[in-house]
Amino acid sequence: MSELDHINQRLDIIQKNQEMLLLRLDNLAVAIEGINPDNWIDSLKVQEILRISASTLYRRRKAKKLVPKCIGGSYLYFAPEIYDLRNQYLK
């Protein structure tokens, strides 16, 4: 095994460990903030509940009609709020 292959192998191991560490830190941050993951849903679930497209969700987010919280690098929405708005947005 060449030295370059050995370095690449080590870098792969470091990258995997870094991803695992970042995921654990995200989970820890969520726990510290007291956020119950069961009360938060992702964008796809919001689109399904409100029966809207991704672009419509984006426009409503930009207009501050739907306000997500960025948790772990993705937008999550407070589920009770989405269900309250459901009747307003149903076509």
- For 12-32, the DSSP string reads HHHHHHHHHHHHHHHHHHHHH
Instruction: Please write the tens of the pLDDT for every residue from 25-71.
Output: 877 776 666 666 678 888 999 999 888 999 999 999 899 888 888 77
* C-beta separation of 43 from 77 below 8 A: yes
Residue type, 60: R
Q: Which of 83, 33, 30 is nearest to 66 (CA)?
A: 83
Domain 36-91 of CATH type 1.10.1660: yes
pLDDT average, residue stretch 3-14: 92
d(CA 43, CA 58): 9
Write down the domain spans for the chain: 1-34, 36-91
- The pLDDT, as a whole number, for residue 14 is 92
Q: How far apart are the first and last CA of the chain?
A: 62
